[in-house]
Amino acid sequence: MEKVFTPLASQAADAAIRPKLSVLVPTFNYDCTALVCALDKQAKALTAGVEILIGDDASTRDEVASACRRLENGVDIRSLRPPHNLGRAGIRNMLGREARGEWLLFLDSDGLPPDNHFLSRYATTMNGKADVVCGGIVHPRQQPSEAVSLRYRYEHHAERSHTVARRNAAPYAAFRSFNFMIRRSTFLATPFDESLRDYGYEDVLFGHKLAESGARVIHIDNPLLNCDIEDNTTFLRKTEEALRTLATHAPQLAPHVRLSLQLMRLRQLGLGAVVEWCFGMTKSALRRNLLGRRPAVWLFNFYKLGYLNHVWPCDNTTRR
């Protein structure tokens, strides 16, 4: 039987119960119970209405799907699961469409608030002029194990250039989807590009879209703790996958990625063949170092340059 709506009454009722903030947690095969419980506790202390939406992107681990369902309370925590995997961009876009809040706070499922004031710090920015507020990311102070040394060292080295001041100096280039808040109207006008189905560089393209749209982006000191640091083998594999994505979508991505800009400059100087030779001669030794106990960040940076040069054909787009 078709439902009958009374538009004015339903709109008024919806406005009365609509939350100020929608916290959106996309996940795939990762149990986000700790994150959602911490957020729910903080949300109850805010005067602004808060809803939490979990986007289970068709997880293949039954225990994760079950955990997402158990977190639902029928009031302000909902779990949404599409019939098939949508990918990193697709699941975020779905959550943005389903959310009812004026503001959307996107948080990766493997994060945790480092203190009890995480949501309140975001709440203080809601009445400002910004359209997007980026909180940042931190990692454990102590390396969890030698098995994760590559990702751990790389991220801690990168944190030096990711201070609030440096991020605000280049607000669009510094965008990361791990932890950010955005006006719902802004997000619906500039959703994530779902053509990037493979892993890597969604953040770069989204930051560029924000710049093109004229959205006002600010960075604040409100980081989310990354609790799931991949082991060296997994991190290197995902890095290679991301670089293949960069090569495949070079016309869209290359002008906005520092690594590809460096490679383009080297090719303009006629040094692409030199990079290829050096990479071919040292690849095995580089991998031994990067998968070992004490990987060197500078060798990882060269590995990325050499790998991108190898998988990205030299054509007119790289000679500009």
**Largest Cα–Cα separation, the chain:** 72
Q: What is the pLDDT of residue 119?
A: 97
Q: What is the pLDDT of residue 10?
A: 40
CATH superfamily of 7-229: Spore Coat Polysaccharide Biosynthesis Protein SpsA; Chain A (3.90.550.10)
Q: Side chain identity at 307, as an amino acid letter?
A: Y
Q: Is the pTM of this model over 0.85?
A: yes
Q: What stretch of H or E contains 79?
A: strand 77-80
Q: What is the pLDDT of residue 160?
A: 83
Q: What is the pLDDT of residue 226?
A: 94
Paired tokens of 110 = 């493997």
Whether the Cβ atoms of residue 281 and residue 239 lie closer than 8 Å to each other: no
Q: Which residues of the chain have pLDDT under 70?
A: 1-16, 74, 315-320
CB atoms within 10 A of CB 59: 19
Paired tokens of 212 = 């093109």
Taking the C-alpha atoms of residue 306 and residue 158, their distance in angstroms, rounded to an integer, is 20
Q: What stretch of H or E contains 56?
A: strand 50-56
Whether the Cβ atoms of residue 12 and residue 88 lie closer than 8 Å to each other: no
User: Closest by alpha carbon to 138, among 109, 163, 121, 119?
Assistant: 163
Q: What is the pLDDT of residue 314?
A: 77
Q: What is the pLDDT of residue 315?
A: 65
Taking the C-alpha atoms of residue 85 and residue 28, their distance in angstroms, rounded to an integer, is 9
Which regions of the chain carry the CATH code 3.90.550.10? 7-229
CB atoms within 10 A of CB 195: 10
Q: What is the pLDDT of residue 317?
A: 45
